[in-house]
Amino acid sequence: MSFTSGDSATKISAGNAITPEDIIAAGEKAPEDVATYAMYLGDDALMLAQRLGHWISRAPEMEEDVALANIAQDQLGHARFLLSYAGSAWAKTEDDLAYFRGEEEFRSCRLVEQANGDFGQTIARQLIFSLYQYELFTRLMDSADETLASVAAKAVKEVTYHVDHAAQWTIRLGDGTEESHRRMQEGLYYMWPYVDELFKDDDLLRDLSERGIAVLPSTLRASFDARIEPILEQATLTVPDVPGAWGGDRSGNFSEHRGHILAEMQVLARQFPQGVTW
């Protein structure tokens, strides 16, 4: 994949993209198993958005603040679509799911919950997760579930850019100075134990993928490897030879960071459940 679009160079009109409100307005009620799958994907996006948002005002340059904030906004957008759709199964709103679920009720993977660390560590997380999301959404565009398919079709354009952003930085840091190389490689070591679980199947995923609704994660691994390896090679970095972290379902039972992220993300909504204005 390259960051060039086959689209015409003529001006794109604003506001012709699908919105979370469209999903609500359509009145589609997601079946519970599809809703749980949407929650897997939506929680990943929400956690990553929360993590990335922390970089605002802390990135190496102001331009990079904006770049990471843009990516966070894209992820928050994915989360809004997916959690709006998931919530329809249980008559809950996106906010109910984001702000009023407990730690053990989230279904995010651990990779997106990992600490930002330094810029290299964040870029390592971005590279791994964006490549996974790119493969996932490319396939999910053909989902038998129309809502998931249309969300994936919108998201894949955004994620194409996230991959490019992460790859450009991986190459510059890896093949940069001795210090930047060291930090980028350490970032990869830190994140790599959480790669395997991105591609782990479970009963729900197997069932939904047999019906053409979900993408079976294990089937994405080969193309993920084929994409990340040349990037790391160009960056003079090595694929870490480390075992996967223990645990690794989406239950939250093995998650070190989830509760801390939620504490910060949910505090205002829980303290003022009727809403606040200022």
Which of 2, 6, 9, 91 binds other proteins (CB under 8 A)? It is: 9
Stretch that binds other proteins, among 8-16, 43-51, 82-90, 126-134 (CB under 8 A): 8-16
As measured in angstroms, the least distance from the Cβ of 170 to other proteins is 13
As measured in angstroms, the least distance from the Cβ of 88 to other proteins is 30
How many binding residues for other proteins (CB under 8 A)? 19
CA distances, 239 to each of 93, 126, 184, 193, 229 (Å): 41, 15, 12, 11, 7
Backbone angles phi, psi at 51, to 5 degrees: -60, -50
Which of 67, 198, 214, 220 binds other proteins (CB under 8 A)? It is: 67
Nearest to 201, CA basis, from 226, 225, 220, 222: 220
130-169 mask for other proteins (x: CB under 8 A)? -------------------------------x--xx--x-
Distance CA(18)–CA(242), nearest Å, equals: 41
Distance CA(127)–CA(86), nearest Å, equals: 27
Distance CA(61)–CA(67), nearest Å, equals: 10
By CB under 8 A, tell whether 276 contacts other proteins: no
Binding interface with other proteins (CB under 8 A): 8-14, 61-64, 66-67, 70, 161, 164-165, 168, 172
